[in-house]
Structure 1
């Protein structure tokens, strides 16, 4: 707000609400009771807001000074105080002695805390802060806040090593979040392209310091995390002061990176710079150039490694072939392999001798049993009825086939059949006598039966 306008408005000697006419008695008393048929006029709404703001106590507010105006001949300075994370700002008026009391004065970009009373100017519809105290936010206080946030994130496990994702060996596409036309972008792209000429990038240029940095970087990271081809994300920025790098220690940005499913590389500042994003990201690169080296392999190194692996494999195979060839030669030099039949010679002789012994034993056994068989055969033949008949005996049988054993079996006049060694004859009994002393011994070899 310009100084002249504010001075004229406030110099009338009336409060902001006192400059407006009183509302009509017929108007709705509360905002909830308004309608299209019974609306509030603008003056009433601004007066209501002014009355509400006037009841607010003084408040401490932190922000970044983006504009400071001091006009000669006036005792009031006008500032624009912007939120440190999002693009929101408020005008602030303060006595010049508050600015003069600050060590080194008050420069644009400084972070301050202001004690102020809110004021609503009804004529312009502007909310303004009337500062009564201004204090710069020192480096020590900023570091203390960062350390506190670090402990909070650590207590939630967002800094744990086990949750960090490994980088892909060869990403299809690298997402890069960096400043517009920045050296960090050139360093990452050039280094990665030198190492792997075919690497592709999805670049998102954003504000990397100031009030819009957190929201822009967070949005770019979320967009690249959802990109189907992006396999790794690099957040890169060059070096700067602690205040310049504060967005990368912001809680909202740290949580946005922790929520990514794509591996994230933090490449903020130089080796000595430390931001909370380095701890939350999956990999911390000391510089943007180091990030370019980490996200892609080097073609020359990979080719060299491949050739070395091929050489090791070749040597291993040759050693294996030599070893097996030596073992095979040793096997071939053994007598059993030089003349395989020699291995069978001794068993062959053993088998032949066993067969001969078995043959002789079997023949002897057969001869022995043949003699026994001959004796048994002779005995059987000697006892055979046919052999008896061959000696001249005959067997007498009645007509019924009964063998005649005594004279009583063949009465006189009966016809009998005499069975001989060859054939038979029929005889008639003309006489018989019982001579118990007669037996086989009384017959000669050619005796009658």
Structure 2
């Protein structure tokens, strides 16, 4: 479809057929763009949308309100028939949760996007509880609430991260009770909005920031009491998952004893109140001093009793006759030593006598077998000039020089003849 020429102060011109064809020299005027936006939005389907109502204004047969997201800073303008408000009782307070059946509509005159509703229902407590229970079961199935994921709180934290309201008693209750018990404890405080659409993003950001702080030993998320709807952000899935992913132990102190948002289930410790959290995160210095004093006294008593027992035992031991005359302990060993001494003397004499006889026998054998003994009986040993012993006369020749050894002395000789 070709756009008809439009007139302006520069005369009749033909507008670009598509948005891609527009340029600084050939733009679309607002009166041309606005209907296109209206036609595009008109093709969007009707939808059921949920949120919190704000700024409710009634004018004749229509009601105008702002529908705000429960978790994010986003909102829509909505118009519904006054009869729908009357069906809810005729009043709708800011912060109430509703679902509205509406269709997006573009108002060309002022370029405003609104939702035109034709039905509105309040989100009852039963609906919220059902959704909360379904989320609780899903997170529990993932193991997010398991007891083995719980971590022990530090015995004596030096720096406590505290997430609390900008104004309220929770901060005072935690800090006052903690410092009363342990005066040296320090706090790193992040003040956030603790209800409404800003609660979840601000609280999750504060938890992440404190978890990344290298000196923070434990994180406390604290809020005073409130209605069920006021505490709903602390059951938000995103907030619960961020709390469950912290590396720093986390304490939940939301509301009062009867309140139990999902943050309580994922936290490492659930405090019934902010006051209880202040007492739980640090030990009581007075009690610890008394405990230490008691342990010192017990140790001193135990040591004194042990020394007394050992002293009494030593005195009893020293009173025994064996310690009065300790030399008596040696009497039985003197006779034994004398017997052993005599026996060892006799044994030594026997050993020496046998050794002497064996030596004499061996000497006699050695003498009998010694070459000297043979020489003593009148024999001689003949050697050639090279020193070889002559055993066969045929190995000699006339004129060979010989060296003769006798039992006493030696002589040199010359072979004159040999006889076979």
The CA distance in 2 between the partners of 1:123 and 1:133, in whole Å, is 26
Given candidates 121, 143, 161, the residue that maps to 1:175 is 161
Q: Is 2:54 the counterpart of 1:55?
A: no
What is the TM-score normalised by the length of structure 2?
0.76
- Across the two proteins, how many residue pairs are aligned to each other? 346
- Summarize the Cα distance change of 1:297–1:362 in structure 2 as closer, same or farther, 3 Å threshold: closer
Query: 1:397 aligns to what?
Result: none
Q: How does 1:425-444 map to 2 (within 5 A)?
A: none
Equivalent residues of 1:158, 1:280 under 8 A apart: yes
Pairing partner for 1:245 from 217, 221, 231: 231
Whether 1:343 and 2:329 are equivalent positions in the alignment is: yes
**Map of 1:78 onto structure 2:** 64
Match in the other structure for 1:316: 302
Query: Using a 3 Å threshold, how does the CA distance of structure 1 residues 337 and 103 change in structure 2: closer, same or farther?
Result: farther
Q: Equivalent of 2:215, from 229, 239, 246? A: 229
Q: 1:30 to 1:348 in 2, by over 3 A?
A: same
Structure 1 residue 177 displacement after superposition: 0.8
Report the secondary structure of 1:171's partner residue. coil
CA offset at residue 160 of structure 1? Answer: 1.1
Q: Is the 8 A contact 1:28 1:40 kept in 2?
A: no
* 2:205 is the alignment partner of 1:216: no
- Cα-Cα RMSD: 2.8
* Closer/same/farther in 2, CA of residues 314 and 354 from structure 1, 3 Å limit: same
| 1:158 has 2:158 as partner | no
> 1:69 maps to which residue?
57
Report the 3-state secondary structure (helix = DSSP H, G, I; strand = E; otherwise coil) of the residue aligned with 2:221: strand
Q: Describe how 1:180-199 pairs up with structure 2 within 5 A.
A: 180-199=166-185
Q: CA deviation at 1:105?
A: 2.8
- Between the aligned partners of 2:107 and 2:295, the Cα distance in structure 1 is 78
- Whether the 8 Å CA contact 2:15–2:28 is kept in 1: the answer is no
1:319-352 C-alpha deviation (Å, 9 max, x unpaired): 3223333333343233333322111122113323
The equivalent of 2:134 in structure 1 is 148
Measured against aligned partners, the alpha-carbon deviations of 1:29-52 in whole angstroms (never above 9, x if no partner) come to 245x55556554444443332212
TM-superposed deviation, 1:108: 1.5
Q: Please state if 1:298 is matched with 2:287.
A: no
1:331 pairs with 276, 293, 317, which one?
317
Distance 2:109 2:39 in 1: 14
Secondary structure at 1:64's aligned position in 2? Answer: strand
Query: In the TM superposition, what whole-angstrom CA distance separates every residue of 1:75-127 from its partner, at most 9, and x where no partner exists?
Result: 11111110000111111111111101104632221100111111111222221
Q: Hey, what's the Cα distance between the residues in 2 that align with 1:38 and 1:160?
A: 64
Structure 2: how far apart are the matches of 1:83 and 1:219? Answer: 18
> Structure 2: where are the runs of 5+ without partners?
1-5, 358-377, 379-420
Match among 4, 16, 27 for residue 16 of structure 2: 27
- Report how far residue 155 of structure 1 moved: 1.7
In structure 1, list runs of 5 or more residues that go unmatched. Answer: 1-19, 374-399, 401-449
> Structure 1 residues 119, 339: CA separation in 2 closer, same or farther (over 3 Å shift)?
same
